[in-house]
Chain A
Amino acid sequence: MTLHATMPLLVFDNVAKSFTLHLRGGSVLPVIADATLAVHPGECVVLGGASGAGKSSLLKMAYGNYRCAAGAIRVRDRDRIVDLATAAPREILGLRRTTLSYVSQFLRVIPRVSARAVVEAAGREGGLGPEAARIRAGDLLARLNLPERLWALPPATFSGGEQQRVNIARGLIAERPILLMDEPTASLDAQNRAVVVDLIAEKRAAGTAILGIFHDADVREAVATRIVDVAAFRGATAA
């Protein structure tokens, strides 16, 4: 039991990432090498490093959105461990329903679907009943100060900050053990940044393992339990 609680939920084990740019003569862009990192329940590990260092790429690999060039990314899914680097597409989709949540920097809008429905659908997909999803979606949108007159509208015409708050609500509505956040506060004002800081603290208290990128120094200060500089993941030959 105690052993279980101290086991990491997410582990990068000697992960490498490079991009082969076929449209540019097949040149290879090395981004990450030898990335080793563990995120435990209740931790909020913040990735630091210069623009282009590979922070977002690491998060995307942890969501199965980018492939791994080498190494393993082990995710604890209840009683088993799955390596995202080798998992089949169906398995990755399964993990996204039960274990992994990802808040990207921008909302990808779905035509004709209202803000509230976007958030509710994420709740139902994450295992909430329709009524619970409805209530929690409303609670989250209210906490994030999204004006109620917008809830029934598709977010396509929303401002950047309004869309981002829908995105955050969508990413946080379901209880998933691992939360990945890529600059979720970038387009928010101070008041809403503070709301996100509170929401993250609540997730941590509930035992969620968080891996995030936060450029805003105040937010990073407030949420990070540890900062990892991605520049260290350059391998022996680079840097």
Chain B
Amino acid sequence: MEPLLTVEGLTKRYGRRLACDGIGFSLDPGEVLAVVGESGSGKSTLLSLIAGEVAADAGSVSYRMRDGETRDLDALSVVDRRALMRTDWGFVRQDATQGLRMAVSAGGNVGERLMGVGDRHYGRIRATALDWLARVEIAPDRVDDPPTRFSGGMRQRLQIARNLVTAPRLVLMDEPTSGLDVSVQARLLDMIRGLVAELGLAVIIVTHDLAVARLLSHRVLVMRAGRVIETGLTDQVLDDPQAAYTQLLVSSVLAA
């Protein structure tokens, strides 16, 4: 099987600091990859590079488009790349205010992505938005509220609905559950787990929580100081870590 996404030699320098240093991996359709590592190790930078929000100093990202053709994303026009992000990709951010339009209603947040793929039929957009809000357990009577009136957990669920409504094949997630209460986290994780399996999504999820990596991912990539320290099957890396840094990371938590 040809991979959905291939990342090669991705490098990003901020001044003298290497935020990402020659990162490479591939992702199959339906595969979930967790990126773990300490603060400042380059995880968010990696997602930004993949999403094309930050220009890489070196390296490439290629993606198998819906027509079956694999393209180097740097070779796409700005318009085409943006269109790809709005339709076939999703990006769920840690800070919901960056992933949502805070002044727009919940229904509008979901509907906007649908309009981005060319749907202009108001009734259908609203019905689909309502359906997705229900799937992420947001009550129909909240559809006209803006996310400023939502709790942290609800905002994250709304982000998920907004991203998944266009049936993307690849979703990037940056710490989607951090900063939430434990019980709210559990509910969100359960929802993500169910949707990922049901929709066969490929996911790259950045998390500092090894239990989240264990629950959701097939493979993990351990990063430190911009480099990949260790990578492999999730339970193998967590239960039989080889690198000194991974052993430290695993032993620093109670049970993952």
B-contacting residues of A (Cβ < 8 Å)? 19-23, 26, 60, 64-67, 89-90, 92-93, 110-113
Q: How far is the CA of A67 from the CA of B236 in the complex (A)?
A: 7
A110 touches B215 (CB 8 A): yes
A111 touches B186 (CB 8 A): yes
Given contacts A89-B219, A90-B28, A90-B31, contact A64 B236 (CB under 8 A): yes
The chain B residue sitting closest to A67, CB to CB, is B240
**Which residues of chain B from 210 to 254 have any CB-CB distance to chain A below 8 Å in the complex?**
215, 218-219, 232-233, 235-236, 239-240, 242-244, 247-248, 251
Q: Within 8 Å CB of B215, what residues of A?
A: 110
- The answer, yes or no, to whether B190 is at the interface (CB within 8 Å) is yes
Given contacts A89-B219, A110-B215, A113-B190, contact A64 B239 (CB under 8 A): no
B interface SS class: helix
B189 touches A89 (CB 8 A): no
Contact of B189 among A20, A22, A26, A111 (CB under 8 A): A111
Tell me how far the C-beta of B149 lies from the nearest C-beta in chain A, rounded to whole angstroms: 25
Q: How many A-B residue pairs have CB under 8 A?
A: 49
- The answer, yes or no, to whether B124 is at the interface (CB within 8 Å) is no
Given contacts A89-B218, A90-B28, contact A66 B190 (CB under 8 A): no
Q: How far is the CA of A113 from the CA of B194 in the complex (A)?
A: 10
The chain A residue sitting closest to B1, CB to CB, is A90
Given contacts A23-B251, A66-B239, contact A112 B187 (CB under 8 A): yes
B233 touches A92 (CB 8 A): yes
Q: Within 8 Å CB of A19, what residues of B?
A: 240
The chain B residue sitting closest to A21, CB to CB, is B247
Q: Within 8 Å CB of B248, what residues of A?
A: 22-23
Q: How far is the CA of A215 from the CA of B247 in the complex (A)?
A: 30
Q: How far is the CA of A78 from the CA of B191 in the complex (A)?
A: 35
Which of B186, B233, B243, B244 has the most A CB atoms < 10 Å from its CB? B233
Q: Within 8 Å CB of A67, what residues of B?
A: 236, 240, 242
Q: Within 8 Å CB of B31, what residues of A?
A: 90
Q: Within 8 Å CB of B236, what residues of A?
A: 64-67, 89, 92
Q: How far is the CA of A112 from the CA of B190 in the complex (A)?
A: 7
Q: How far is the CA of A108 from the CA of B151 in the complex (A)?
A: 30
A111 touches B190 (CB 8 A): yes
Q: Within 8 Å CB of A60, what residues of B?
A: 239-240
Q: How far is the CA of A20 from the CA of B189 in the complex (A)?
A: 33
Tell me how far the C-beta of A192 lies from the nearest C-beta in chain B, rounded to whole angstroms: 26
Q: Within 8 Å CB of A23, what residues of B?
A: 244, 247-248, 251
